[in-house]
Chain A
Amino acid sequence: MHAPTLTRRAFIQTSIAAGGGLLLGFHIPRAFAASVAGQPWTTPAGGVEINAWLTIDTAGVVTIRVPHTEMGQGALTSVAMMIAEELNVDWSRIQTVFADPNRHLRNNNEYKVMSTHGSQLVRLQHPHIMQAGASARERLKEAAARAWGVKRSAIEAKLGTLTAGNRKGTYAEFATAAAQITLDEEPPIKKPGEWWLLGKPMQRLDVPPKTDGTAAFAIDTRLPAMVYAAVRCCPVPWGKLKSFDFAAVKNRPGVIAAIELKAVPGRDQTSDMQNGVAVVADTWYRAKTALDAMPIEWDFGPDGAASSASQYEKARRLLDQEGEVSYSTGENALEIIARSRRVITAEYHRPYETHARMEPINATVSVTDDRVDVWSPTQDQTVALRLAADQAGRDPKDVYVHTVFLGGGFGGGGGGNTAVTRQATEISRQLRRPVKVIWSREEDIAQDKQRPPNTTRFSAALGENGLPIAWFSRSVWFTHNATPRVGGAFADYAIGNMPYKVPNRRHERHTARTHVPTATHRAPGANQHGFMTESFVDEVALAGGWDPLEWRIEMTRGLEDWQLVLETLKEKSGFRTDLPRGRGMGVAAVESHGTIAAACATVSVTPRGALTVEKVVVVVDSGHVINPHAATEQCEGSVCWELSHAWVGGLELKEGRFVNTNFDSYPLLRLDQMPEVEVHFALSGGSKWGGLGEPAGPPVPPAVANAIYFATGKRIRSTPFKHHDLSWGEALTRRS
């Protein structure tokens, strides 16, 4: 999806609506719990609609309708802050609800963007969100101006009060009149220097209901007469269902039906649904245990022989062949390397990873004669809407997607896109009852769309001063569609756009097919290649006799924002290369989503090889930060996310399916492994608006691997680190 075009006409039209966006004349369990608000908390219904984004009630409470999904990144809070900034209302008078995707569809994409991905809510969408607030403010002023017979420019709008000379009124008093006003021209939005609210650390609005069990997640949806389904799809994607014996389980208590699910290919040859079978019962546990007990036979097909090992072998064969050149500058880097005497070569690999959101993939769907209702933890309500309409064979205008809290997002559309939404729709369509489909954790890991594996070979030739004169990289990554792009993930991210000024560079890529559906995964592309590029940078720097941090500073001369970030990292981290054996510091820097993020990790490794990541200092330049509190949290979380995969993660494919089934075989980072994290913002400001939900992750694995090298003398070129022997006996030579 591209950045929305800002059309000022969009907010000129208006109407007076009786209710809020969520109230659809249908029983929505605990909808109010999902509509969190600041204090005081009042019902989100009612009020006068100034535009699609906000209503003002008679008490002056402003209800802001948020079209984005909340997965803990602070969307409810940041959208509310941007509108409150322009509208100029007291923060305690704000409450938020989720906007209605059906209205968005019916009113020609009224909210412009209803998808939440790519760390883009603030960086790309702040202009139209802020304009919604600015427009409402000017119309309130215009209403007062007309009533008082003064010019609009004579009126001040501040904290919910309109003032002109000795005339005074509240927003609430003028809301009805403002709703009927059309502005000749929409106002511009405020510039960063003019902010009074943005830039201040604000507690997230969604925190309170997440501390007492009232926050409504999709998996918590309960509807009258609802049934539950457990599903199993072919463990080898695209394999076929040969048979299942429902008779063996149909007399178990509570069991209602078994329903076959047929594969539906989606866009770009990925799957919207795989072949499988669902067992429906009156509780999920009864459905799940019946499914477990039901004999099922599969035809795995030709992909039943695929493995991580065979894909890795294929990758290594491809690495010996010329690939598609996707980046080059200067002379042919390969030729220079071939005739150079000081050459460094290394090969890096990263395996599949899975999202493993804490909320297992699920959806609840109700198909009735006249409408379809969907609750799913999707990052894109419009996709869920389209899929449900398609599977039910209904007009999308009759489909209502109810936005709920997401128990983790992390890309790939969230835990409610594509397959599970279709499954629930299909089952409800056949049974004509509301159904909740929950994937067991085992099904979630087996059937999620995975982060693609990647293998990259680098070589560099050094010049007289020890700095590289030529740099070559060749990558192989496996995707379901054998293209260099999966959603927002690029095969070359953080390789092709590496900032270092090497005079002669060449990057080639191979894209190979895997039968495993792949998808974006928090900081897509950058999360893999950041590790590879930034580890190899250390190899090159050290081979040339350079301090790794000084090398990066030297190689980004003239790039002011990179210099700012790296110099700040130097100052804040105290990076040094002379710690006693068994301890080490490492640095790395990666750009993604328009934000530069640098990290310095401090590790200790026992002589027997037990790793502790003590501390990670992160420095980011996102240009601007609207909520430093949420931004800091996102950076802390990103550190954990990438460290988890790099240290303890990694999926392994064997006989066409993953051997990892649950958190015992796909561990996540635990609390006792989490390093101390220090986050610093080094903001270059200006026209730069970078994202913050993802970029702090990618530099972490290479910073840790580089630190491990200084601690042990061992260079780690693949993840997870847990598979490497990090012991450092007396016989080992320290460093090169």
Chain B
Amino acid sequence: MQMKLNINGALHEVDAEPETPLLWILRDNLGLTGTKYGCGIAQCGACTVHVDGQPTKSCVFPVSSAVGRRITTIEGLSRGGRPHPVQVAWREIGVPQCGYCQSGQIMAAAALLAQRPNPTDQEINAAMAGNLCRCGTYLRIKRGVRRASELMRNE
């Protein structure tokens, strides 16, 4: 099936089975490999992208459901060449270790801050608990979210 997708502000045409998870369309069809495969069952969050601004686990999100929606991936998170405040905070604190889960962590954090610019610890826990990190960078992720919130307030 031919489908038109709006990804990071650009239109892409893909030909795939409609039930194919968006993750694999991004990675294999479009070469947007910043979004990662971790589990395929929405348990780890490595594949998190934004669909109309909502954090979405793309490994279980059929590509056909993405038609007509606004998709943002890690590659499209920076704004006008300026890194997103979450990315700035992540670099400042040195959040990533192996880095594999971090696209998903950053997308989840950015979505949280878009909705809750000044989240409580409980809100951070709730929003980020769906994203696994095997290196154990959780403490720095929490600090990163708080720091990004601060940066956004000062913008």
Q: Do A671 and B34 touch (CB < 8 A)?
A: no
CB neighbours (8 Å) of B73 from chain A are 213
Assuming the contacts A213-B73, A637-B97, asked whether A664 and B41 have C-beta atoms less than 8 A apart, the reply is yes
Residue count of chain A within 8 Å CB distance of chain B: 59
Q: Which of A216-224, A307-315, A553-561, A570-578 contacts B (4 or more CB under 8 A)?
A: A216-224
Chain A, Cβ-Cβ closest to B101: A358
* In contact, A671 and B94 (Cβ under 8 angstroms): no
Chain B, residues 123-155, CB within 8 Å of chain A (1/0): the string is 011101111111111111110000000000000
**Interface core residue of A284, A356, A408 (most chain B CB under 10 Å):** A408
A362 and chain B: residue at smallest CB distance: B37
CA distance A674 to B139 in the complex (A): 7
Q: Is the interface of B mostly helix, strand, loop or mixed?
A: loop
Q: Are B34 and A213 in contact (CB under 8 A)?
A: yes
Residue contact A409 to B138, C-beta cutoff 8 Å: no
B83 within 8 A of A: yes
Q: A438-B37, A633-B94, A668-B132 are in contact. Are A211 and B100 (CB under 8 A)?
A: no
- Interface segment, A82-90, A202-210, A264-272, A463-471? A202-210
Is B40 in contact with chain A by the CB < 8 A criterion?
Answer: yes
> Is B91 an interface residue, CB under 8 A from the partner?
yes
Q: A210-B102, A213-B103, A671-B142 are in contact. Are A360 and B94 (CB under 8 A)?
A: no
Who on chain B is nearest to A359 by CB? B100
A358 and B46 contacting across the interface, CB-CB below 8 Å: yes
Q: How far is the CB of A520 from chain B (nearest CB, A)?
A: 16
B96 CB–A CB distance under 8 Å:
yes
B96 near A72: Cβ-Cβ < 8 Å: yes
In whole Å, how far is B140's beta carbon from the nearest beta carbon of chain A?
A: 8
Contacts of A669 in B (CB 8 A): 136, 138
CB of A212 within 8 A of chain B?
Answer: yes
- What are the residues of chain A within 8 A of B130 when measuring CB–CB? 670
Interface pair B128/A358, CB less than 8 Å apart: no
Q: How far is the CA of A674 from the CA of B32 in the complex (A)?
A: 31
Contacting residues of chain A (482-507) with chain B, CB-CB under 8 angstroms: none
Q: Which single member of B24, B128, B131, B134 contacts A356 (CB below 8 Å)? A: B134
List residues of chain A with CB within 8 A of the CB of B142: 671
The DSSP consensus for interface residues of chain A is loop
The answer to whether B66 has its CB under 8 Å from any CB of chain A is no
Chain B hits for A73, CB < 8 A: 97
Contact of A358 among B75, B77, B132 (CB under 8 A): B132
Minimal beta-carbon separation of A391 from chain B (angstroms): 25
Once the chains are docked, how many angstroms separate the CA of A211 from the CA of B96? 8
- Flag whether B56 is at the interface (Cβ < 8 A): no
Q: Are A671 and B125 in contact (CB under 8 A)?
A: yes
Which of chain B's residues has its CB closest to A641's CB?
B136
Q: Please tell me if B78 contacts chain A, counting CB pairs below 8 Å.
A: yes
Complex: A408 Cα to B78 Cα, angstroms: 26
Size class of B's contact patch? 35 or more
- Closest A residue to B86 using CB positions: A211
Q: Does B43 contact A (CB under 8 A)?
A: yes
Inter-chain contacts of A670 with B (CB < 8 A): 129-130, 132, 138
* 0/1 string, B36-50, CB within 8 A of A gives 1: 111111011010000
Assuming the contacts A207-B91, A219-B37, A283-B28, asked whether A212 and B83 have C-beta atoms less than 8 A apart, the reply is yes
Is residue A316 contacting chain B, with contact meaning CB distance below 8 A? no
A639 / chain B contacts, CB cutoff of 8 Å: 136
Contact call B136/A638, Cβ cutoff below 8 A: yes
CA distance A662 to B135 in the complex (A): 18
* A518 vs B125: C-alpha distance when bound (angstroms): 35
- Residues in B whose Cβ lies below 8 Å from that of A222: 31, 33
A213 to B30, CA, bound (A): 14
> Nearest-CB distance from B123 to chain A (Å)?
11
Whether A358 pairs with B96 at a CB distance below 8 angstroms is no
Partner among B28, B31, B74, B101 whose Cβ is within 8 Å of the Cβ of A228: B28
Q: Once the chains bind, are B38 and A214 in contact (CB under 8 Å)?
A: no
- Tell me whether B128 and A671 are in contact (CB under 8 A): yes
Given contacts A214-B34, A664-B41, contact A285 B96 (CB under 8 A): no
Closest to B124 in A: A671
A672/B129 contact (C-beta < 8 A), A211-B87, A405-B99, A663-B41 known = yes
Cβ of B7 within 8 Å of any chain A Cβ, yes or no, is no
Known: A212-B74, A213-B75. A671 touches B131 (CB 8 A): yes
Residues of chain A within 8 A of B83, CB atoms compared: 211-212
A283 interface neighbour in B24, B101, B106, Cβ under 8 Å:
B24
Closest to B23 in A: A285
Which residues of the other chain, B, contact A212 by a CB distance below 8 angstroms?
34, 74-75, 77-78, 83, 87
| CA distance in complex: A283, B101 (Å) | 22
Q: Chain B residue with minimal CB distance to A668? A: B132
How far does the Cβ of B46 sit from chain A's closest Cβ, in whole Å? 6
Report Cα–Cα, A406/B39, bound state, in Å: 17
**Contact present for A358 and B91 (CB under 8 Å):** no
Whether the pair A217, B100 counts as a contact (CB closer than 8 A) is yes
By Cβ-Cβ distance, the 8 closest A-B pairs, closest first, are A213-B34, A640-B136, A72-B97, A210-B99, A407-B100, A72-B98, A213-B74, A220-B33
Some 16 contacts from A to B, beta carbons below 8 A apart, are A211-B95, A211-B96, A212-B87, A213-B32, A213-B74, A285-B24, A407-B100, A441-B39, A441-B41, A633-B137, A637-B97, A638-B136, A644-B136, A662-B40, A671-B142, A677-B139
Extra contacts, 19 of them, besides A213-B34, A406-B98, A644-B136 (Cβ < 8 A), are A72-B96, A206-B96, A210-B102, A211-B83, A211-B90, A212-B77, A213-B75, A220-B27, A228-B28, A357-B134, A358-B100, A359-B36, A359-B98, A662-B43, A663-B43, A669-B136, A671-B138, A672-B128, A674-B139
